[in-house]
Amino acid sequence: MYTVSMKSMRYTIKDFQGDFPDEASCLIWLKDYLYPDGIYCKICKKITPHHLMRTRKSFSCETCGHHVHPTAGTIFEHSSTPLTLWFYAIYLMSATRAGISAKQLERELGVTYKTAWRMFHQIRSMMGDDDDNLTGEVEIDEMYLHADPKKRSSVKPHESQVVFGMVEREGRAKVRHVNSSGVRVLVPEIEKSVDNSAVVYTDEHGSYKLLNRRGYEHNTVNHGERQYVVGRVHTQNVENLWSNMKRGIKGVYRHVDPKYVQAYADEYAFRYSHRQAPSMFWSLMSRIDNR
Ligand SMILES: [Zn+2]
């Protein structure tokens, strides 16, 4: 079952504050993470000792004085916001199950909404999934996000957005914003993302009827007949992902702009995929250099 255990949140705020009390500790962490074997100086043409230049967010070569900026190529590049605030924002976005909004970041960090919004989207850009196909037991389901007619939103009330989820019971998830739940959209998505050797579980939605013929071992749970779990045949994991995503959108985001549905989808897929990781904070930090 998909539950975020307390274990995944055991990197506490105290741990965080101990690790990153100031700008220098953030820069040194970044340098050690990006250059585990030391910094190669392109002037000296070898790995040389480098010293932190606090005022310039850089490290300079002991021999020739050449500067290296460890924020280059990361989400922190071109930002005048202190790294302590960036790292704290990553901590906040990884510390709760349902996520946190740009508005909450604004309040917590004491930055402008514009800055918070930019940080929020940059951090979320690190949550995209990898290219490896899903394998093993895979649950597949589609979900419809309806616009709330009481809230201002660019989604018209009669429109809903289709979100399509594929989740390994023991591992990762991929969630896609698709333009229909028809067979011509969903089956190619499955073939793109789910290995042919996978055992696939779905409900009785018509778009999945082809899966046997496409080479998947396919089991169907008949929700129409109030069947939810028959032995291993169920879709509880993907349904739990949906309920977390809906709760997050209602509680945190309030309305869904179709422009951002894929980013929401990636965020919740990331949370699912890393639910067993010792710390979601470190899972995110390990992605700062490969957006
Ligand atoms: Zn040098």
Please report the beta strands in 117-184, taking only residues with DSSP state E, as ranges in sequence order. Answer: 137-146, 160-168, 173-178
pLDDT for the residue numbered 149: 52
Q: How far is the CA of 75 from the centre of ligand 1 (A)?
A: 26
**Residue 155 CA neighbour count, 13 Å, CB half:** 22
Q: How far is the CA of 248 from the centre of ligand 1 (A)?
A: 49
Does position 5 have pLDDT exceeding 60, yes or no?
no
Domains annotated on the chain, with CATH: 8-128 (no CATH), 137-277 (3.30.420.10)
Q: How far is the CA of 32 from the centre of ligand 1 (A)?
A: 18
**pLDDT tens readout for residues 128-160:** 887 889 999 999 999 988 766 555 555 554 568
In the structure encoding, which two tokens stand for residue 218, read together? 């396919």
Is the CB of residue 275 less than 8 Å from the CB of residue 4?
Answer: yes
Supply the pTM of this predicted model.
Answer: 0.82
Q: What percent of the chain has pLDDT over 90?
A: 55
What would the mean pLDDT of 242-262 be, rounded to a whole number?
78
Identify residues whose C-beta is under 5 A from ligand 1, the ion: 41, 43-44, 61, 63-64, 66
* Residue 15 CB coordination number (10 Å): 13
Is the CB of residue 195 less than 8 Å from the CB of residue 223?
Answer: no
What would the mean pLDDT of 244-259 be, rounded to a whole number?
74
What would the mean pLDDT of 174-203 be, rounded to a whole number?
93
Strands 58-61 and 50-53, by their bridges, are antiparallel
Q: How far is the CA of 69 from the centre of ligand 1 (A)?
A: 14
Q: How far is the CA of 53 from the centre of ligand 1 (A)?
A: 14
Q: How far is the CA of 276 from the centre of ligand 1 (A)?
A: 42
Q: How far is the CA of 50 from the centre of ligand 1 (A)?
A: 8
Q: How far is the CA of 29 from the centre of ligand 1 (A)?
A: 21
In the structure encoding, which two tokens stand for residue 192, read together? 């793109």
Q: How far is the CA of 288 from the centre of ligand 1 (A)?
A: 26
Q: How far is the CA of 151 from the centre of ligand 1 (A)?
A: 58
Q: Which residue has the higher pLDDT, 137 or 246?
A: 137
The DSSP code for 279 is B
Helix, strand, coil: what percent of the chain each, to 5? 40, 20, 40
Q: How far is the CA of 71 from the centre of ligand 1 (A)?
A: 19
**Residue 89 CA neighbour count, 13 Å, CB half:** 28
Mean pLDDT: which of 4-8, 159-163, 201-205, 250-254 is highest?
A: 201-205
Closest CA to 102 of 235, 257, 274: 257
Q: Is 22 helix (H, G, I), strand (E, B) or coil?
A: coil
In the structure encoding, which two tokens stand for residue 86, read together? 């960036």
Q: How far is the CA of 47 from the centre of ligand 1 (A)?
A: 8
**pLDDT tens readout for residues 32-50:** 999 999 999 999 999 999 9
Q: Which residue has the higher pLDDT, 65 or 247?
A: 65
pLDDT for the residue numbered 128: 85
Mean pLDDT: which of 4-18, 102-116, 240-254, 255-269 is highest?
A: 102-116
Q: Which residue has the higher pLDDT, 155 or 79?
A: 79
Q: How far is the CA of 40 from the centre of ligand 1 (A)?
A: 8
pLDDT for the residue numbered 7: 45
